[in-house]
């Protein structure tokens, strides 16, 4: 059994060492152009040349939950595309979203600004029932975020492409219920997969349907947001602010207006990072299951894109 590691933005040596320790029976190498055929591959944003050279690959294991970079490539028809189910990312995402939500709800950013100017200030406490949280995308990450937000007793709404039922969450599904979901939401959290249908879904029309004083938290993909539509809604007062972890171009260009806008909080795509030990254990387990002819979870539907 041969496995290639082909990942941009990841230092290869520790990953290859961990994979070799988890799969001692396998031959594991870093892919280079012209290399011989392999059975499986662990990838992140591989070049098209890799896929063209390896049409026999049984499965590609993506080092992340989002597979949009791979679905844009020409994949061998018989190759399974497998995303990470969780591997420690969902709890990180829950931490991030709850931090951004509570920071806004409790006005901690305003208190910090006052403290920086030497002011001892007070603000009237807000009511949680006035801040319903709407989560777009109710997969593994969205459901974990919903459970975390529930602990703070905010009203919860959820929207997904197909119907879901989650305890304590008022769920909506499909295009026909999107407007109703948005109207029920004040703090909008985007955790959608990036597909042709969801690209640009955060735009002037949809964000304007949030309750007045709405707040956006985008931790999915930068291409979900039509960036030029956000600032007019902030400056006009319909949106109170936004926390953005992802952007159409990363790193965010130095002259981008998001850097200096007082109502936008930026983080450098760090809401949930891939954890090596958890990821390797999951990938190794799935490879061994495939070798035994057993089904595995996390297989991506090529048509749906997730």
Catalytic residue among 83, 104, 221, 224: 221
d(Cα 185, Cα 197) in Å, to the nearest integer?
A: 21
Helices (H) and strands (E) in the chain, counts: 10, 12
- Residue 121, exposed/middle/buried by CB under 10 A (0-12, 13-18, 19+)? exposed
Q: Is the dihedral of CA 71, 76, 80, 83 positive or negative?
A: negative
Alpha carbons within 13 angstroms on the beta-carbon side of residue 116 total 6
Q: Catalytic site residue 303? A: no
Q: Catalytic site residue 128? A: no
Catalytic residue among 269, 273, 276, 302: 269
d(Cα 251, Cα 214) in Å, to the nearest integer?
A: 26
d(Cα 117, Cα 103) in Å, to the nearest integer?
A: 19
Under 8 Å between Cβ of 189 and 210: no
Catalytic residues: 221, 269
């Amino acid at each position: 059994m041969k496995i290639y590691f082909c990942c941009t933005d990841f230092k290869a040596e520790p990953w290859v060492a961990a994979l070799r320790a988890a799969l001692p029976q396998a031959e594991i190498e870093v892919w280079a152009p012209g290399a011989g055929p392999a059975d499986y591959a662990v990838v992140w944003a591989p070049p098209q040349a890799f896929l063209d050279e390896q049409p026999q690959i049984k499965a590609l294991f993506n080092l992340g939950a989002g597979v949009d970079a791979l679905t844009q490539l020409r994949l061998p028809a018989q190759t399974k595309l497998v995303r990470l189910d969780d591997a420690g990312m969902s709890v990180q995402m829950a931490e991030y979203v709850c931090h951004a939500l509570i920071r806004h709800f409790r006005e901690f950013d305003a208190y910090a600004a006052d403290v920086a100017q030497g002011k001892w200030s007070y603000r009237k406490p807000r009511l949680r029932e006035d801040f319903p949280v709407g989560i777009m995308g109710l997969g593994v990450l969205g459901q974990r975020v919903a459970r975390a937000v529930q602990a703070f007793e905010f009203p919860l709404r959820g929207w997904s492409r197909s119907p879901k039922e989650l305890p304590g969450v008022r769920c909506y599904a499909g295009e026909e219920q999107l407007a109703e979901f948005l109207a029920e939401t004040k703090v909008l959290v985007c955790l959608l997969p990036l597909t042709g249908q969801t690209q640009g879904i955060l735009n002037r029309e949809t964000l304007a349907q949030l309750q007045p004083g709405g707040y956006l938290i985008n931790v999915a993909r930068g291409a979900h947001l039509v960036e030029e539509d956000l600032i007019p809604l902030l400056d006009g007062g319909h949106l109170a602010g936004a926390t953005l972890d992802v952007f159409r171009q990363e790193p965010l260009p130095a002259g981008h207006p998001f850097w200096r806008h007082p109502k936008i909080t930026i983080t450098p795509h760090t809401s949930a990072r891939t954890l090596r030990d958890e990821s390797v254990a999951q990938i190794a387990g799935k490879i061994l299951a495939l070798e035994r002819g057993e089904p595995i979870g996390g297989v991506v539907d090529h048509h749906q894109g997730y």
